[in-house]
Amino acid sequence: MTRSLTRLAATAQTVAYTAAYARRTDRRDRGDVPGWVLITVMTAGLVSAIWLLAGPALTSMFQEALAKVTGK
């Protein structure tokens, strides 16, 4: 009887330590949300700026490549 109570207490203690560790790591492991938002917005801005500047040239290159492939 004493042995089973000791095992039960050890199991309960292990579960409590695991739950406490999980709570601590969950709070610290949220990530850097403002950083990711900033990276995403800056990437979208760069792609838009490049597309505005190089859009006509890219379009003509694409149309020329299609014309060479299709023979038109």
Same structural domain, 5 and 38: no
Instruction: Say what the pTM is.
Output: 0.43
Residues 26 and 36 in one domain: no
How far is C-alpha 70 from the chain's CA centre?
40
Do 47 and 71 lie in one domain? The reply is yes
pLDDT of residue 39: 92
- Per residue in 7-40, pLDDT (tens digit) is 666 677 776 767 666 666 555 556 677 888 999 9
Residues 36 and 71 grouped into a single domain: yes
Between 27 and 70, the more confident residue is: 70
Q: Quick one: average pLDDT of 35-48? A: 92
What is the spatial distance between Cα 64 and Cα 66, in angstroms, rounded to a whole number? 5
Calpha distance 65→69 (Å, rounded): 6
* Total domains in the fold of the chain: 2
Range of the domain at 52: 32-72
